[in-house]
Structure 1
Amino acid sequence: MRKKSAGAPYMDLHLSPEDRVGAAPGKPASKPRPARKGSARAERVEPQLGGSDAAFALDAGEPIAPERRGKAKPAKARKGRREKRPLTFGWFVGKLFYWGFVLAVWGGIAIAGVVAYYAVQLPAADSWAVPERPANIRIVAANGQLISNRGQMGGEAVALRELPHYVPAAVLAIEDRRFYEHFGVDPIGILRAFINNTTEGRITGGGSTITQQLAKNLFLTPDQNYGRKIQEALLSLWLERNYTKEDILELYLNRVFFGHNSYGIEAASQTYFGKSARNLSLGEAAILAGSLQAPSRLNPRTNPEASATRARLVLGAMAEEGYISQAEADAAAIDPNKRIRTRVAGAEYYVADWVESLMTAYLGEVKQDVIVSTTIDWDLQKHAEFVVKEMVTAKGSELGFSQGALVAMETDGTVRAIVGGTDYGQSQFNRAVTSRRQPGSAFKPFVWMAAMEKGYTPDTVAEDAPFNYEGWAPENAGGQYRGQVTLRDALAYSLNTIAAKLAIDVTPQAVVEAAMRMGISANLPAVPSIALGTAEVSLLELTAAYAPFANGGQGVIANVITRIETVDGQVLYESIPAGPGEVVSPVVVAEMNDMLHTAVEIGTGKRAQLDGWPMAGKTGTSQKARDAVFVGYTARMVTGVWLGNDDDTATKLAGGSVPVEIWSQFMSKAHEGYAVAELPGMYGAQTQYAQPDLQPMEQAPPQRTTRTIVDLLGEIFGGRQ
């Protein structure tokens, strides 16, 4: 019981345990903690009720305000509810601006984070550098005519100043009209592309600048994703900061893909039009610029109609931008009723492939642009291509063959023409250099040569008749036999039985050794059947192996490269005369020329014609006529021809038919303007024959005597034939 204070009414307030906050009815309150001495709680003064400074106001309907702690100020008395403001346009604009600003800030932060994420995946900026352009191999004929460009790019780089002004203008007009105005990324172009894509309902353009396209080509993979586009933009800014606009445009024109393995404007110009980009016409420049949108689809070789349509669009854009007049655009437009004339990939491309394959052997890795001068006679090359293609077209269907090949070289091994097939565009397989086929009887001269070296002569008599050797019984074509014949006539008429008997007599190993000495590099099995040309060889090596007969006995190495130099004129390689030296004696050469001349005079090669030039050669037809071959030569040139099918199916050919016709047409052209020359040792060859070592010298007649192979085989095999 508290005492009544002066001036205040007395009130006695009793609180039961149930009246405490949180107490349950009927449950005694927990025992209060004793106040600690000196604490604020011990000194607490109970509030006075009803006084002017009362801490609580008891008013029915009003909640008891909680005690405020710390420095918080008491809430102001509420003066009543705030009235709702009407939704006005200004209020809406304000809210829109506010939230737009907020979203823009957060969007900028998000974009910055994404950019930073992909930026850190790139190498450090101070290590960025434009990669070196892969080396180009420019291959030219003996007269400087471009044969082809080889290498990863397909063409050499050209300076911007070397191009006609309308070439880069065409690219800018259709690919990046604001090239000289933007900083590598064109926001206006991106917005325009977005609007156009939205309007068209499909993707009509991506808004990428030339700088962005260059950055992609130089540094990035072609993957289409947002991360790559962000990196592309960053690299574009770097390019614009470190290179001039002209530098960027030149880099772009020399790196961009134009289709058909052509990277750069020079490669594209050579591929499609057979000329340098320095000589492009306005219409051709528009065609190439138009193809950049889809190089594999819009190039003039794959789709000339779409290419022409796109070129007209380019010309219109050029006129709109003021690069050319509308009259010039109309004059250069491609007539939709006329096909675009593009370069046809000719047989010289087989030469280029061969030369490219040799580059590692000559230089190792090619690290800079080089010019390779070859031995190819451009006019003869094109003539050889024409003759082979015409014959295949004219007689292929009738006689069941679809492919042909030709190798022509001078007697020292200098290659003048190579035809590896009838259509390089359809098949790049080189049937003259890479393919290995059975030469048939065209291999027999090496058998006869081995026999001459053993002591036989062209007048040695042998018997053409069936025989069996350890279960092998070779037969002549047609199944006919001539009886007693000289080796000269046996080679001229290509008698298989005589060839087999000679090979057995001199031994197959001696035949293999003779062929390899002459230039055959294929793996030849030392078996009797090799005499019939069953071992596979390339036309190139077979032709080169005949060269010693034409030059007097000197071995040759087929050579097509004369000089390799850089574009600045530094000589990296220059050929010098080289070879294995004498591989067959002049006496044997004379004997072989005597017999092989007979083969084209009265034998299987008698269709060969060459306007008075002394010539020699041998035909060959493999089993089931799958291959038809003729290799013939004069004192000036050796040429080999092959006809057949890639799938090795039978034909109706013979080596003395169409191959000889092709040989005659080509060789007639090749000998125009040259003085007639005799074959080594051909005339008077009989007086040059070495004395045989077949009987005592005192019994030897003034000239070489002969004996039959039947006699020799009787001595070797005990009379077995």
Structure 2
Amino acid sequence: MKGPPDKRFERLKKLANKLGLDLVKKRPWWQKYVVLLIAVASIFGCYYYAFQYTGDLRYGDNSRINFKNINSSAIKRASYIYDSSGQVTGRFYDEIRDTVKLSEIPLLLRNGFIAAEDQRFYRGLFWGIIPHPGIDPIAITRAGFGNVLRQLGFKYLNKSGASSITQQFTRLILAEEISEFKNRDQTFARKIKEAKIAIQVEKQYTKDKILEDFLNLIYFGHGVNGIAEAAQRYFGKDIRTQELNLREIAILVSLNKSPSGYCPIFHGPKGDPAETVRIVKARERYNWVLSRMLEDGYITQKEFQEAMFKEDEPLEAEIAKLNPIKKPVFGYSNRMVKEMLLTSGYSENELSRSKGLRVYTTIDPKIQRIASEEFEKHLALLNEEKAGGNKINGAFVIIDVKTGDIKAISGGNNFDETQYNRALASRSPGSGFKPFVYAAAMEQGMGYYDKVCNCPLDLSGGAKGERWRPQNFKEKNPQPTGYIDLARGIIWSLNLETLNLARSIGMESVVQEANSMGVWGNRGLVRDSSGEVWFRRPGYEVKEGLIPLLPTAIGASEVNLIEIANAYAVFARGGIYMKPNLTREVRDSYGEIIHKPELSYQERVLSQETADSMTALMRAVTKIGTAKISMRDIEQQVAVKTGTSDGPRDLGMYGFTPELALVIRVGHDNYGVVELPEYMKKVSGDSEMQISGGWVVGPLFRKIIDRIHEDRTKVAFSEDVESKLSELLERYN
């Protein structure tokens, strides 16, 4: 007995009749096979065209895509600078990205991304029977089904996307070349193109390489690209050496889906409805990631429960905080590193986009911060009540005596305001140059008590053709005129004695001694004792430096602070010259050493006797000389020389402990005369006092040394030095 006719079959039959087809008529067996063959061929043809045929895959310029060239070389890599403790101090970047090897990324973090983005990435389809081909048909089907349900008004809770990790990698790596990828066009054609490329990429590269590059490419919001930089930016952690907890992992994984929507930094005023909704959704996403990790067996039920973001947690509490990208306190040392790299052959593009260098410096973060803080405060004091933009600025350099390492450097008060590096600027050291004159004399056999004339000079060659009649600094209790002990010239900074001494030993020998200690006075350059260029600012060449004329003896020739600091370190290490160091090593983006400076060579340029004698003289400066007030009762032993140039236009304090050489200079950038600061008038009670380096810079030198040695062992100079000091104090005090 026939049942009622199937209405759907009847409708299909009517449609067939309209098309001229007979659904009832029986066909020969061979026709059935032909139809089947055509159907199978059509299916495979569609599959081949959709996913295997690559002839229609082209870049934006219409050139064919070369799949062998789709690799990590296209990833923009920032170059990073590190201090001596291994912390990042700066970056050169087009995009902020710290590329890491897959092995450097914690396994649990990798698994978090796999669980949320592509759970069959490694294990394949259908329990591993079919390898993952670059796309996930199951995920695509599920996502398509979910879209249909949502269009029909049904609630579909599965939050997984259809794009595999390989597809996402493809989209990221080719975003610059393919406009649909860059614009994220939500079209079927773009999805097909993405899938086709992903399948080809899987044929060329390993899963590990795809995952590594994918994690290095992701944009995580707040200007950050790549998993390593994201961990540093949001949690202050280096994923190479520090563990991330499950909550942090869930947050980072979620940011790939929506950097703004799932950002752990809460915005808006407290109680803002829109922000509250966003936070709730963000935490739901974090918990969903954790649930996927639990489902796939990457974490236990206990770990899941402990890491979950609870509903009753206060929404206004920050889960993370943004760690600063810029650190101005290290700006000048970082600028020097960049200039060193540029002059060694790297291009701007290589530093900011392609090389991803890792430059490890000698900068001590604690010493740098202490010196920078005190420097900033002191300049603020000097500029107090100053109107207009012509304010006092300056620079400082601190060098490790034992190694030659530059421990701290600043070329100005604020790197963000001006990148002009005053530590490299050629300026007058004033009386800070005098120790080189006296060292040269001692190397020729002179001693403390040899007589030198502290008497006037009347020489040709002055400004505007006038006679040059130099004078001593005016003191309330001036040193005697006539022939006096050589030692007095350093302790009380006597211009006339120094000039007569330089005249008697010859300025050529003075300049030669300064050169041997690394002081050359070449603009834009730092040279070592042999004359070899250690540092060169781009565009500068070796030209005439120190001039062997008499005014150079009291600081008329301009030099930079790095040269002065390193030369003063020669006294501290007993007459041994060492080339200054700023970098320890340079590595590529994957940690391989590509440059390691040779150990700083050592060369004796002064006898031990001369070095000790000069050190004792500069120790006496702190007891009875031009720095006795600012250095009074200082706990850490120091040896210093004050410096005041003509005008005065430059004021300085140059000195050292047995471990550190510290030099400081202040003045106006336009060479204007430095006027007596208001605070000094109040402190001294003398509005007519003569301004000097000892008065103006001495207190800053003292504060920096005191703070550095608050929790540092105090170190004494050698017995020979202290014995000579006692002799000097007994004679002159």
Give the match for residue 392 of structure 2: 401
5+ residue gaps, structure 2, are: 1-13, 20-44, 126-133, 151-160, 185-189, 293-303, 523-544, 678-691, 729-733
1:518 Cα deviation after fit: 0.8
Q: Which residue of 439, 446, 459 corresponds with 1:449?
A: 439
Equivalent residue, structure 1, for 2:100 = 157
Once residues 631 and 131 of structure 1 are traced to their aligned partners in structure 2, the CA distance between those partners, rounded to angstroms, is 48
The equivalent of 2:723 in structure 1 is 683
2:404 to 397, 407, 413: 413
Structure 1 position 575, deviation (Å): 7.1
Q: Please tell me the residue identity of whatever aligns with 1:632.
A: G
Superposition TM-score, scaled by structure 1 size: 0.62
550 and 341 in structure 1: CA distance in 2 versus 1, 3 angstrom threshold: same
Question: Contact 2:90–2:327 (CA<8 Å) still a contact in 1?
Answer: no
| Counterpart residue identity of residue 221, structure 1 | E
**1:718 aligns to what?**
none
Q: Residue 56 of structure 2 aligns with which residue? A: 115
For 1:319, the equivalent position in structure 2 comes to: 287
CA contact (8 A) 1:474 1:496 kept: no
Q: 1:462 aligns with which of 450, 453, 467?
A: 453
1:660 aligns with 2:698: yes
Question: CA 1:478–1:502 in structure 2 vs 1: closer, same or farther (change >3 Å)?
Answer: closer
1:586 maps to which residue? 608
Task: State which of 154, 170, 178 in structure 2 corresponds to 1:215.
Answer: 170
Query: What is the correspondence of 1:265-344 to structure 2 with a 5 Å cutoff?
Result: 265-271=227-233, 273-277=235-239, 278-280=242-244, 314-320=282-288, 322=291, 328=309, 335=316, 340=321, 342-343=323-324
Q: 1:384 matched to which residue of 2? A: 371
Distance, in Å, in 2 between the alignment partners of 1:268 and 1:383 is 29
The whole-number CA distance in structure 2 between the counterparts of 1:267 and 1:490 is 56
State the one-letter code of the partner of 2:642: T
1:559 corresponds to 2:578? no
- In structure 2, do the counterparts of structure 1 residues 192 and 396 end up closer, same or farther at CA, with 3 Å as the change threshold? farther
The CA deviation at 1:546 is 0.9
Whether contact under 8 Å (2:619, 2:725) holds in the other structure is: no
Change (3 A) 1:274 1:534: farther
1:183 corresponds in structure 2 to: 135
Q: Given that residues 81 and 88 in structure 2 are in contact (C-alpha distance below 8 angstroms), is that contact kept between their aligned partners in structure 1? A: yes
- Tell me what 1:100 maps to: none
Deviations 1:576-612 (A, max 9, x none): 7653522123343344234323322233322125745
**In the alignment, is residue 533 of structure 1 matched against residue 488 of structure 2?**
no
Change (3 A) 1:312 1:385: farther
Matched ranges for 1:72-111 at <5 A: none
Displacement of 1:276: 1.3
Partner SS for 1:683: helix
Once the two structures are superposed, residues 369-409 of structure 1 have per-residue CA deviations (whole angstroms, 9 ceiling, x without a partner) of 98776655554444334433444455554574355433131
Aligned to 2:87: 146
Residues 227 and 453 (structure 1), Cα distance of their counterparts in 2 relative to 1, 3 Å cut: closer
1:147-174 CA distances to partner (integer Å, 9 max, x unpaired)?
Answer: 547676753515378438568758997x
The residue type equivalent to 2:286 in the other structure is M
Give the distance between the partners of 1:617 and 1:296, measured in 2 at CA: 55
Whichever residue aligns with residue 229 of structure 2, its letter is A
Secondary structure (helix, strand or coil) at the match of 1:115 reads coil
Contact 1:610 1:668 in 2 (8 A): no
Superimposed CA distance per residue, residues 40-63 of structure 1 (whole angstroms, 9 cap, x where no aligned partner): xxxxxxxxxxxxxxxxxxxxxxxx
3-state SS of 2:694 partner: coil
Summarize the Cα distance change of 1:126–1:471 in structure 2 as closer, same or farther, 3 Å threshold: closer
Which residue matches 1:471? 462
Aligned-residue sequence identity (percent) comes to: 24
Partner-residue secondary structure (3-state), 1:131? helix
Contact 2:70 2:201 in 1 (8 A): no
Tell me, which stretches of 5 or more residues in structure 1 are unaligned? Answer: 1-89, 96-104, 197-205, 689-721
Match of 1:516 in 2: 515
3-state DSSP of counterpart to 2:718: coil
Q: How big is the shift at 1:543?
A: 0.7
Assess if the C-alpha contact under 8 Å between 1:287 and 1:308 holds in 2: no
Give the secondary-structure state (helix, strand or coil) at the position aligned to 1:413: coil
Q: Given the superposition, is the C-alpha separation of residues 227 and 191 from structure 1 closer, same or farther in structure 2, using an over 3 Å criterion?
A: farther
Q: Secondary structure at the match of 2:327?
A: coil
> What residue number does 1:636 align with?
659
Over aligned residue pairs, what C-alpha RMSD do you find?
Answer: 5.9
Paired residue type of 2:56: V
In 2, Cα distance between the equivalents of 1:429 and 1:334?
A: 45
Say whether the 8 Å CA contact 1:552–1:680 is kept in structure 2.
no
Q: For residue 643 of structure 2, what is the aligned residue in structure 1?
A: 620
Q: How many residues align?
A: 582
The letter of the residue matching 2:716 is V
Q: Distance in 2 between matches of 1:282 and 1:430?
A: 44
Partner of 2:631: 608
Give CA deviations for 1:23-77 in whole Å, capped at 9, x if unaligned.
xxxxxxxxxxxxxxxxxxxxxxxxxxxxxxxxxxxxxxxxxxxxxxxxxxxxxxx
Instruction: Give the 3 Å change call, closer, same or farther, for CA 178–438 of structure 1 in structure 2.
Output: farther
- Structure 2 counterpart of 1:593, one-letter code: T
- Letter paired with 1:516: N
* Alpha carbons of structure 1 residues 169 and 515: separation in structure 2 relative to 1, 3 Å: same
CA distance in 1, matches of 2:136, 2:668: 55
Greater RCO (CA < 8 Å, at least 6 residues apart): 2
**Aligned 1:428-439 pairs, distance under 5 A:** 431-432=422-423, 434-439=424-429
Q: Secondary structure, in 3 states, of the residue corresponding to 1:328?
A: coil
Is the alpha carbon distance of 1:222 and 1:604 closer, same or farther for their aligned partners in structure 2, counting shifts above 3 Å?
Answer: farther
Structure-2 change in CA distance of 1:450 and 1:663 (3 Å) = same
In the alignment, which residue of structure 1 is the partner of 2:327? 345
Measured after TM superposition, the shift of residue 328 of structure 1 is 0.6
Report the AA paired with residue 522 of structure 1. G
